Structure 1
């Protein structure tokens, strides 16, 4: 766990922010660091702490989820893709956490109780699911956010209780609202990245393009194939090859580029990657969510190689769609494809402009602003509503097309105007019997919980009311999305 912010809490507000990440790859922790940086810039935050939930878990649990994932990526990528697709539909798993995960979450729950945060930000779906269960049980009374770290939304990130959900692009928000989630709880901010106040793009020496080859934090072997191809490029270039923490690869890379040492610089793990991204003209590597987001913020187009099936392939699809990337599906064409970019007049400049347009360098700040300025009451999604959302997703229809008892209905806080619950119509009908008024407004009350209410409804009522004895809400059925007319 990192130390609290060094800024004097006496000069700041009273928010105590806990950022929960998971060290499966470096992206989730990088996003957590970006949110931490954004918190340090705010005067209303008194304390910030970051906790990697895997580091707080048992070594076996950490190895299975962390190292095990990358073993599958290397040995059985088809299984990774299968698992991604199976878990993609939102709310496919609606029951309690499995006993193993629950046991390994005990240290995190203890840390939350000890720190008593007023704000919890999750940059991985595992802590997001845990925090949702704590919200529903009344264990925590903090504003909670789930911050996704890939360009395509994946269903595992959607939980039954949260204050705000942050997705990387507008299409993700459109997808979720089409499934019935309220738009006032979903924000398309981009993926949080750390920034430097004096970041600027330095011109390449003598106009020669600088290529940045990234092997990733662990140093993937694909980088060797990339560099072999670069050594045959016809176009003038310089290249920096980042080998990460893989010392063996760095040594092999240095031997490989010896005949062209004047064109190549080989480095290991570096801490000034943002500066290097701003100096480079073209990035060659994997489209991880954080890597891609950092490149876009730096106006750096990408040549994509060896994407992990699932999220990285989808990240690549988005970047190609924006005109900020190309993908190499075979190693033998990498050199040719890069040469085509460098030799075609204006193409690299167009790709750089597309990357700049796609970048969201202020994503971390936008996350904290939206969360702290947003509703203090969480959104609760009932289990029945979760089932409907899953059904809508699997049938490929829009939630507003549903009719009858299984259709979705929103409860809106009459005073704040924020959505506090997503329920099915039959659940709302039960509430209306006991809490309806002549004006059509429901007044949910803590001290009136008839025994005739189903246990699930009583649980929802408790979660919605939080510390209040009564809450006036209005009922809104879903409306069809407004069609976008051509100009």
Structure 2
């Protein structure tokens, strides 16, 4: 296809597999490109996989290990790069210097530079080969905060969640950086925007259609105090609890052994999370960017526990600000559940607050912008 005199033959979609959100957003965009431009070459690259095999698992476990064992240290590192320009500059320079392996492999994989680059991780623009500097880049923010590392090497277009920034902030960032800032929303699997009634979903899943459903999740790896939460809630026999343990097999086995109750359903990794969210009245979860984006699409109120410092705290604050979630912990969740399902509590009002946050056309708009954005003007003396 032709845009502005330049043939667009290849789109390079970059992500970085820390957690699941960046890769999931890239997958949603890949599917949308295939739908809108089936003859276009779109290649997805997880930059983490370009790091040597002996170092890659260490890097991944180091990231997860820091979050699990040293959350305060991670908080300081995240916060420093957020607020301190000098540390942010040094961090971006270190990322660029340490990324020589990634840049070399990208050059080998793609000797002819792509026509467009879309990245769902801020490192994507920092780790591209130097001779790609004139390729048009589109950044896609997958958490509910615009971390300044996105502006260390400014993309030409930056797509952010709905209602994240005030209009004045949007205009100020565009004026200072020259980028085009769009409130597209976060791209997710379109199944989460499909209209499925709670009754229909419960019948498909074999749940009692007449009793409330509370969905409990700990992300793809089943993190957080899920065992304590289930223990606290098991006495509410008039509520159906569905616990998704993700890929945490040990947690699944422990919960299955301990809670052989008809009103508590323990499930391992499931691909039909959208259907479970349609069936649920409430989601109890960690505030990961992917999970809460899916819950927003389903207008599903949330109780949030143990937000990791950094992105998850920002995600949590976003939901609290828009009054669609509240913070919980094992010691308070029973009282909160009783209040949530009490006759006088207006759950429908919470669902209505999701309306300005919805972005069913996020993938479609990002793809359209990628294909139609004007090439950056290269000025020479």
Q: What is the TM-score with the length of structure 2 in the denominator? A: 0.86
1:361 aligns with: 360
- 1:214 corresponds to which residue? 217
RCO higher in 1 or 2 (8 Å CA, sep ≥ 6)?
A: 2
Quick one: distance in 2 between partners of 1:68 and 1:354?
38
**Counterpart for residue 352 of structure 1:** 351
Once residues 321 and 139 of structure 1 are traced to their aligned partners in structure 2, the CA distance between those partners, rounded to angstroms, is 39
Segment of structure 1 superposing worse, 101-110 or 294-303: 101-110
Counterpart in the other structure of 1:308: 308
User: Structure 2 matches for 1:40-439, cutoff 5 A?
Assistant: 40-43=34-37, 46-89=40-83, 92-93=88-89, 95=93, 97-113=95-111, 116-131=113-128, 134=129, 137-139=130-132, 141-172=134-165, 174-175=168-169, 177-179=171-173, 180-181=175-176, 185-196=180-191, 198-203=194-199, 205-233=208-236, 236-258=238-260, 261-328=261-328, 330-377=329-376
Deviation at residue 346 of structure 1 after TM alignment: 4.5
State the SS of the aligned residue for 1:162.
Answer: coil
Structure 1 residues 344 and 376, CA, compared in 2 at 3 Å: closer, same or farther?
farther
The alpha carbon displacement at 1:281 in A equals 1.6
State the 1:62 CA deviation.
2.1
- Cα deviation, residue 323, structure 1: 1.6
Secondary structure class of the residue paired with 1:291: helix
Q: Match of 1:81, SS?
A: helix
Question: 1:216-257: CA deviations, max 9, x gaps?
Answer: 1112241111211211337x3112111111111101111222
The Cα shift of 1:60 comes to 4.3
Residue 83 of structure 1: how far off its partner (Å): 0.9
Runs (4 or more) in structure 1 with deviation over 6 Å come to: none
Q: Is the 8 A contact 2:99 2:127 kept in 1?
A: no
Mind listing any 5+ residue stretches in structure 1 that lack a counterpart? 1-12, 379-419, 421-443, 450-487
Question: How many positions carry a matched residue from both structures?
Answer: 361
> Matched residues in 2 for 1:169 and 1:183: separation?
20
* Cross-structure match for 1:394: none
* Unmatched segments (≥5 aa) in structure 2: 1-6, 203-207
Are the equivalent residues in 1 in contact too, given 2:156–2:376 (CA < 8 A)?
yes
Secondary structure at 1:376 match in 2 = coil
Structure 1 residues 163, 239: closer, same or farther in 2, change over 3 A?
A: same
Distance 1:202 1:170, change over 3 A: closer
Q: Secondary structure at the match of 1:50?
A: strand
1:146 Cα shift? Answer: 1.0
- Structure of larger gyration radius: 1
Displacement of 1:181: 3.3
Answer yes or no: is the 8 Å Cα contact 1:233–1:336 preserved in 2: no
Q: 1:95 to 1:262 in 2, by over 3 A?
A: closer
Q: TM-score, normalised on structure 1?
A: 0.69
Pick closer, same or farther for the CA change 1:265–1:194 going to 2, 3 Å. Answer: same
Distance in 2 (CA, whole Å) between partners of 1:274 and 1:118 is 34
Residues 96 and 59 of structure 1: is their aligned pair in 2 closer, same or farther, counting only changes over 3 Å?
same
